[in-house]
Amino acid sequence: VEELGWGTQLAVKLKMLVAPPWKRVRKGSVLTMTLRGEISDQLKTRFSSGLSLPQICENFEKAAYDPRISGIYLHIEPLSCGWGKAEEIRRHIVDFKKSGKFVVGYMPVGGEKEYYLASACAELYAPPSAYVALYGLTIQQTFLRGVLEKVGVQPEIQRIGRYKSAGDQLGRKSMSNEVKEMLGALLDNIYGNWLDTVSSTHGKKKEEIEEFVNSGVYQVERLKKEGWITDLLYDDQVMTMLKERVGQNDKKSLRMVDYSKYSRVRKSTLGIGGGGDLIAVIRASGSITRTRSGLSVSSSGIIAEQLIKKIRTVRVSYPFQSQKSIKLLSSV
């Protein structure tokens, strides 16, 4: 985290003083975020609910520079996002710690993906009743060919190649050898990265981490004993501890600012962002189709003609004319 100049610091303080009530953050506040369920690739509006990857990452960046934020308290619960998003969030947790502020995690339920995120926190707590399932990685698929045969339906599928499996759910009763090969390689890659990260975090060899997981981790007390979590505490106990850490001696609850409110704080208010070459970021997520169906009302997926039009628009836009810099993000 780079130190802001005195002029920038003065401008930041003035902007904070004149900020509207819905954007004000009390000094010594703790930013709280609950990471669970689906995480969208797109920015959320003020009136939409749910988590957004760009806003989560931006909140980490803003909190690192914000003098009003003392640290971050993360609730990590079962996630439905891909490993690519988990990797991106974890990277921002690691970067945030460089600011010298604390980041405390709380995980009542989780598996490999949730612990992958939680292990980036400087401290990780869990309730005595926590359920942490570290059993390794699996992939399951459902095949409908047998059901379709029973009801007299014959699916018509055009298969392009051995490793193209888009129609297998309807056309097969089990995985093909090629699909098993692909998924096996994918799992090996993800699990290998997980072992590398966790072993590096704990300062142990990969073989030791793998042996620990393979032994069957069922009791959260064992995770504490082996140093995988800091301590067994309930949520209110952690917040009491954080009150003492930020020097809040009154009987009121912990000074907090939640994810939604903090997402409204602009980076410019904190003196960060802008000032250099601009890079256009185009986010693409979902299945790819050539054109939008006339019956389709959903905005999900990638429409080829719309994406091409967007890239061409960015190419000729004024802020990017000199740099010609376009970053296309595809989240997994």
**Cβ atoms 270, 12 nearer than 8 A:** yes
Query: pTM for this structure?
Result: 0.81
In whole angstroms, give the CA distance from residue 268 to residue 257: 19
Same-domain pairing of 107 and 231: yes
State the distance between the two ends of the chain, measured CA to CA, in whole angstroms: 28
Segment 232-261 mean pLDDT: 93
Same-domain pairing of 24 and 119: yes
- Going by the DSSP 8-state scheme, the letter that residue 217 receives in this structure is B
User: Which residues, at least 6 apart from 29, have a Cβ–Cβ distance to it below 8 Å?
Assistant: 68, 69, 70, 255, 256, 257
pLDDT tens for residues 72-117? 999 999 999 999 999 999 999 999 999 999 999 999 999 999 999 9
Same-domain pairing of 235 and 100: yes
pLDDT tens for residues 16-74? 655 655 567 888 999 999 999 999 887 766 666 778 999 999 999 999 999 899 999 99
Same-domain pairing of 110 and 23: yes
| Residue at 78 is within a domain | yes
Q: Please tell me whether residue 177 adopts helix, strand or coil conformation.
A: helix
| Residue at 266 is within a domain | yes
Same-domain pairing of 71 and 160: no
Same-domain pairing of 31 and 131: yes
**Cβ atoms 28, 246 nearer than 8 A:** yes
Same-domain pairing of 241 and 100: yes
Element (H or E) spanning 208, and its range?
helix 206-214
